[in-house]
Amino acid sequence: MNPLARELIACHAVEFGSFTLASGATSSYYIDIKSAATQPALLRTIARTVAKKYPFEVIAGGAVGGVPLAVAVSLESGRPYAIIRAATKDH
């Protein structure tokens, strides 16, 4: 098992069972990424994994839950981040 999976399980951020995802697809596991993002060591491991494994120019995170992940990956990689909003701001 890879270190990231081990940490996700240890922090109880992974649940096993039968889940219907927002897309309608089914899965035998669910990762509570918002819960994972509140654990500094786990957030660091996620950021390092993404920064090393995937090439990118800018990392983007959906407001609100994806912002901590995007910021952590940005800090780890030294690359900028963007926030994806559900609606346009009026200001």
Confidence check: pLDDT of 91 > 90:
no
Report the pLDDT value the prediction gives residue 56, as an integer from 0 to 100: 96
What is the share, in percent, of the chain residues with pLDDT greater than 70? 99
Do residues 69 and 39 lie in contact, with contact meaning Cβ atoms separated by under 8 Å? no
Tell me the average pLDDT of the chain: 92
**Strand-pair partners of 29:** 16
Cα dihedral 34, 38, 49, 70 sign:
positive
Encode pLDDT of 41-80 as tens digits.
999 999 999 999 999 999 999 988 899 999 999 999 999 9
Do residues 62 and 52 lie in contact, with contact meaning Cβ atoms separated by under 8 Å? no
Environment class of 13 (CB within 10 Å of its CB; exposed 0-12, middle 13-18, buried 19+): buried
Report the pLDDT value the prediction gives residue 34, as an integer from 0 to 100: 87
